[in-house]
Amino acid sequence: SQQGEEDPQALSIQEGENATMNCSYKTSINNLQWYRQNSGRGLVHLILIRSNEREKHSGRLRVTLDTSKKSSSLLITASRAADTASYFCATGGLRGNEKLTFGTGTRLTIIP
């Protein structure tokens, strides 16, 4: 079963615009990670945010975490055609183990 739901399911924007994706989850977490997947290939790790952190940046990526609302958002600024991919949030670390529970994903399309 999926832990998280991502919103929107699909998003199309013009190159250069910002893209925001949201993730909601159901149970307590230890950490939340965002991954990118291109056309059914492997997952590329983007960023990890711990449950005691509220915001994290990495290059053009900004992730926020609100544990009271059980939600996270991923912002990609100044989007590029190469950002076209599916984005997944994954929660993990419960009971100190490595298991990740993935959301349903957002399909992002950048229009050149």
- How many residues contact other proteins, by CB under 8 A? 29
Q: Does 25 bind other proteins (CB under 8 A)?
A: no
- The only residue of 14, 27, 68, 97 in contact with other proteins, by rule CB under 8 A: 97
Rule CB under 8 A: is residue 88 a binding residue for other proteins? yes
* Cβ burial 20-44 (10 Å sphere, 16+ → b, else e): bbbbbbeeebebbbbbbeeeeeebe
Nearest to 11 by CA among 73, 97, 94: 73
- Which range touches other proteins (CB under 8 A), out of 9-17, 36-44, 61-69, 76-84? 36-44
